[in-house]
Chain A
Amino acid sequence: MKGIGPPRGDALNAPWGGEGPWLSENGFLFDPVRGVSYSTNAVGALIYRLLAAGKGLQAVVDAVVERFEVDPSTARRDAEAFISQMRAAGLQ
């Protein structure tokens, strides 16, 4: 009788290597400690990546203004709101 096996090869390996949270290209964010996932848009993904790289709020605002059609004050307000949500979710 043929056994039932798991998917072959590395199909189940963590696509991000397994260390720390994973942010996919499509904005899917997975926290492996709590097992919780979130989805974010391109702006949120950019902010998350910059913060994860150790950048501060001003650098985040500058990057958002440069990448998206938004004025600095709106970018700052949105970035602060996003960071606040990240803190509430235990991601910061």
Chain B
Amino acid sequence: MNRQALHATVAVTGLNATDSPAPGTGVIRCLRADPGWRGRIVGLAYDALDTAVYDASLVDEAHLIPYPAAGCTAVLTRLLEVHGRTPIDVLLPTLDTELSNMVAIAPELERYGIATLLPRAESLRLTSKLELDAFCRTHGLRSPPTVVLEGPRHLEALPFAYPIAVKGAWHGAEIARGPEEAAHAYARIRKRWGSPVLAQQVVEGEEYDVLMLGDGAGRLIGSVAMRKMGVTDSGKAWSAVTVSDTALHQLAERAFAALGWRGALELELIRDEVTGAYHLIEINPRFPAWCYLSVGAGANLAAALVRIALGETVEPFGQARAGVAFVRHAVDLLCSLTTLEQLVTRGSIYHDRGASSDA
């Protein structure tokens, strides 16, 4: 791994680390863990209460940006506004919902000197939950059968048995043991995350995730696999341990190659408790919230992404270390009300320049 100093201002999104934590906090901790880190972190928040904004050990400054639904132009305008105040070298978005905008505006950002390492639009399309079934069938990967629900009545005539996972196209997943439970889950997910809603057959077994990084030239720079040891009610890993399973890595590499991936990628899999086979249940086109584990496993993939985006040649990591665990730990941050006031009234906060600074 290249160990030269990492002088860069990196803008990171996904700063709301609540019970279903966004990946930004983990990504930032990875960057700061790089021995060569000499950079600056610009936090990009969607809400003044996004939690990492208040942690001065994570972000040097933070700015509110418009939600993805505001569209490419609004997002680009705001990013360039921030760039005008603090020149950004690398933009590292971490949320599924913002990626299509970011991919679309990446060439324009590049013209302003903001580098990214994002998937191509076609690769990104293939990671949609709506495409998973077809993608897996095309490439000979196991995946539980999935259907797009045409409405709640569809739950009574599914082509597979219960239990099922009811999922939003981007976010949200609930396990249902029968049609009645599924109908309630369908309503909750549709209300919160919108349509379409999907039903996926549940494969009983342990959950594994694989984090990977592609350099954009077809090379896999590194991968870290883990087993979830503890999960939240919404299935998010709250503790995990890295593993080293050749079968799992080979499967992940096949998916990676089939996607022609550039940037960070997370695969979510279930190991069938009866057959031992891995089933791909989700593809996430970004770093996962648990990505700080990659530092412990000896493959700091977020720092590698920044180096690649900056044009450095990064050699692939060796096999990640197995048997490294993490436990997530919630902390109450005390903060001055002026931080909130600055964000709400000015849209920006600078931790190291005094709360009232605007530039």
Contacts and interface: CB of A to CB of B under 8 A. Distances in A.
B244 A32 contact: yes
Contacts of A33: 243-245
Contact of B245 (A3, A4, A15, A34): A34
A12 interface: yes
Contacts of B78: none
For chain B, the bracket of interface size reads 20 to 34
B82 to A, nearest CB: 19
A9 interface: no
A36 B324 CA distance: 12
B296 A6 contact: yes
Interface in A32-91: 32-37, 90
B179 to A, nearest CB: 34
Given A1-B57, A34-B227, A35-B208, A14 B321 contact: yes
Q: Is the interface of B mostly helix, strand, loop or mixed?
A: mixed
Contact of A4 (B32, B229, B296): B32
Contacts of B242: 35
A34 B352 contact: no
A19 B85 CA distance: 51
A60 to B, nearest CB: 26
A6 B226 CA distance: 18
Nearest to A33: B245
21 contacts: A1-B57, A5-B32, A12-B321, A12-B324, A13-B321, A14-B321, A15-B323, A16-B323, A22-B323, A30-B241, A30-B323, A32-B243, A32-B244, A32-B322, A33-B243, A34-B243, A35-B229, A35-B240, A35-B241, A35-B322, A36-B206
